[in-house]
Amino acid sequence: MLQPPPSGSHPVLYARKMMQLASCLQVTAPPEPQVQNQISGSFDNLMLRAIETARSLVNSNDEMVGSIEGIECIAMESIYHSYTGDLCRAWLTLRRAMLIAQTMGLHRGVHPPYMGMTTDGHRQPDPDQLWFTLVHLDRYFSLMNGLPQCSSESSFAAPAKLENCTPEEKLRRLDCAAAGIILKNRENPVCDYEMVLEADRLLQKAAACMPPGWRLLYSFTNTLAKNTEAEHWARLKENVRHYHLLVQLHWPSLLCNNDDWEHEYSKISAVNASREALVRCIALTDSKYVTYHSPAFNRIAFFASLALCLGYLDVSRRDYQTAYAALFSHQRQNDRDMMEQALFNMEHMKLLEYDTASAKIKTIFQQLLAIDASASNGTKYDFRVLAENNYNGEFSSEVIDGRGLRVHIPSHGTIVIESCKEAYDSRETAATTYPSEQNAQETAFFPSFSPIMTDGVHFGLDFNAHEWTL
C-alpha cells in the first residue's frame, strides 16, 4: 500500500501515499528503542511532515484535487484532524471534499477523473461507494458538532442498493440514513415525532441485518488470536456507533417533562441504548487499540452517562410511579457503577497530546456524578435546555451558586440542571432535625468544583474508504 507511485505520476498520487503513511503512523504504537534507533526522527515528526507536505502542496490547491484521489486525500486529512481531537476542523475539511465531489457530479453517479493507472496497484474506486463514505463521515461530524449536514438524500439505503451489500455494509447504510433523519429533524423548530419513529424503524432494521452474536461482549484480557481481537474490536465499535445513534435519536424526549406514550417510549429507548453504549466503551478500554480512539469513546461514554443521569433525575423529581420509572428500580446502582468505571478509565488513560477536551469532560463528569449522588440522597432536580442563537463548538460547564450545573455540549447546546425549590425546603428541614445527615449531603454535593475553561471539540475515528468508524 505504501509503495511510491511510478516516476512522473500526478502529484495527487504522491499526496495520497503520504496521507496513507501519516494515517498508519497516527494509529501505530511508539516503536521499541532498538527500532527507533534505526529511524531518522520520531514517528510523530515523520507523520507531521507527511501531512503538512500533502496538505500544503496538493490538498490546499484546488487545481490539484479535481479527481477521485484528490477527494480521498482531503477526506483522509479530515480523519487526521478528528484523530488529533479537532472535530470542527475535521468537519470543515470534509465539507470541502464533499463540495469538490459535488462540482464533479459524484453525488449523481458521475465518474470523476481518476489519475491512477494499473501500475499504481489500485483498482478504481466505486463513485457510489466513495460518495456514501463522504456522506457517512459528514453526518457523523455534523451530529457531534451540532452542525447541518451537507446532503440530506439517502438513496444509498434504497432496497435496490442494499441487495448486494454485506450485513455490515447494510448496517452502515441504514444507520447513515437514520443519522440523516436525525439531523434533518434538528432543523425543525419543534421535534417531529413521526421522523423520530421513522429513524427508529431504520435502526431496528439495521440491527436485524446483523448475524447472531453481533451484540455479544467478550473480554480483551483473554487470550485472543490477533485477527480475532481485531474483528472483535471492529464489531464493538460498530455496536457503540449504532447505540450512540439511538441515544442521539431519542435524546429530545429525555429533556421533556412529559409522560405520554411517545415520550415514554423514547426515554426508555435512550436509557437502554445509553447502557449498551457505555458498557461497550468500558469493554473497549481493555484493548491495545484504545489509545488513538479515546477521544471518541470518552465523548460517547460521557454522553451516555449524561443521558442516564438525566433519566434518573427525571424519575426522581416525580411524585408518582410510571412504567418508565419502574425500569430504573433495580438498575440505579449498576448504572452508577458503570459511570464511575467510565470516569475511572478516563482518569487513568493516557490522553493524546491534542485531546485537551477529554480533560474538560473528566471534570464535567465528576460534577455530573456529584449531582447524581445528591439526587440519590433525596434532592430533586429540574433540567432544561437554554435557547441559544449563536453556535458554540466548545465543551464547558459552570456551577450555579452551589445548587446546580450549567453544561454546554457542542452537539446539544446548554443544559441547565438545578435543584428544585421544594428540595431546598426539605433539605433545610432535614438539617434542623438531622444535622449529621445534612453535613453528609453537603459533602457529597459539588465537592471542590471550579469552572472549566472551554476548548475545541475533539473526536477521533478511523478512515476507511468503505466504512464510517469511530
Q: For residue 343, give every residue at least 6 positions away whose Cβ sits within 8 Å of its Cβ, in sequence order, or none.
A: 305, 362, 365, 366, 369
Indicate the pairing of strand 381-385 with strand 463-464. Answer: unpaired
Q: Is residue 206 in a domain? A: no
Higher-pLDDT residue of 427 and 133 is: 133
pLDDT at 356: 73
In this prediction, residue 181 has a pLDDT band, given cuts at 50, 70 and 90, of very high
pLDDT at 451: 30
pLDDT at 31: 60
User: What average pLDDT does this structure show over 235-252?
Assistant: 95
In this prediction, residue 83 has a pLDDT band, given cuts at 50, 70 and 90, of confident
From CA 410, how far away is CA 57, in angstroms rounded?
Answer: 32
Domain boundary among 125, 154, 171: 125
Q: What pairs with residue 434 in β-bridges?
A: none
From CA 106, how far away is CA 99, in angstroms rounded?
Answer: 10
**How many domains would you assign to the chain?**
2
From CA 353, how far away is CA 343, in angstroms rounded?
Answer: 19
Q: Is residue 156 in a domain? A: no
Q: Is residue 342 in a domain? A: yes
Instruction: For 27-61, write each residue's pLDDT tens digit.
Output: 776 666 666 666 666 777 888 899 999 999 999 99
User: What average pLDDT does this structure show over 289-305?
Assistant: 82
Q: What pairs with residue 398 in β-bridges?
A: 406
Most confident of 42-46, 104-108, 408-412: 104-108
User: What average pLDDT does this structure show over 233-244?
Assistant: 92
Q: Is residue 157 in a domain? A: no
Q: What pairs with residue 382 in β-bridges?
A: 418
Nearest to 455 by CA among 350, 347, 353, 356: 356
Q: Is residue 200 in a domain? A: no
Cell numbers linked to 453: 475553561
From CA 118, how far away is CA 100, in angstroms rounded?
Answer: 25
Instruction: For 334-391, write each residue's pLDDT tens digit.
Output: 999 999 999 999 888 876 666 777 888 999 999 999 999 999 888 899 999 987 767 7
- 180 near 137, Cβ under 8 Å? no
In this prediction, residue 324 has a pLDDT band, given cuts at 50, 70 and 90, of confident
Q: Which domain holds residue 119?
A: 1-125
pLDDT at 421: 63
pLDDT at 319: 67
pLDDT at 446: 35
- 413 near 385, Cβ under 8 Å? yes
pLDDT at 432: 35
Q: Is residue 329 in a domain? A: yes
Asked whether the predicted pLDDT for residue 453 surpasses 60, the reply is no
From CA 215, how far away is CA 210, in angstroms rounded?
Answer: 9
Domain boundary among 109, 125, 141: 125
Q: What is the mean pLDDT of the chain?
A: 82
Q: Is residue 246 in a domain? A: no
From CA 172, how far away is CA 466, in angstroms rounded?
Answer: 10
From CA 246, how far away is CA 266, in angstroms rounded?
Answer: 9
Q: What pairs with residue 468 in β-bridges?
A: 463
pLDDT at 302: 95
Domain boundary among 72, 102, 125: 125
Q: What SS3 class is residue 153?
A: coil
User: What average pLDDT does this structure show over 404-429?
Assistant: 75
Asked whether the predicted pLDDT for residue 460 surpasses 70, the reply is no
- 277 near 300, Cβ under 8 Å? yes
Ranges of beta strands (E only) in 118-204 are none
Q: For residue 376, give every residue at least 6 positions away whose Cβ sits within 8 Å of its Cβ, in sequence order, or none.
A: 312, 316, 332, 336
Nearest to 178 by CA among 114, 91, 244: 244
pLDDT at 119: 43
Alpha carbons within 13 angstroms on the beta-carbon side of residue 65 total 27
Q: What SS3 class is residue 211?
A: coil
pLDDT at 318: 75
Cα angle, residue 446 at apex, residues 396 and 344 outer, rounded to 5°: 70
409 DSSP 8-state letter: E
Higher-pLDDT residue of 218 and 8 is: 8
Residue 278, Cβ density class (10 Å: 0-12 exposed, 13-18 middle, ≥19 buried): buried
Asked whether the predicted pLDDT for residue 410 surpasses 70, the reply is yes
Instruction: For 112-171, write each residue's pLDDT tens digit.
Output: 888 875 444 556 678 899 999 999 999 999 999 999 999 999 999 999 999 999 999 999
Asked whether the predicted pLDDT for residue 200 surpasses 80, the reply is yes
Q: Is 417 left (phi over 0), alpha (psi -120 to 50) or beta?
A: beta
Q: Is residue 392 in a domain? A: yes
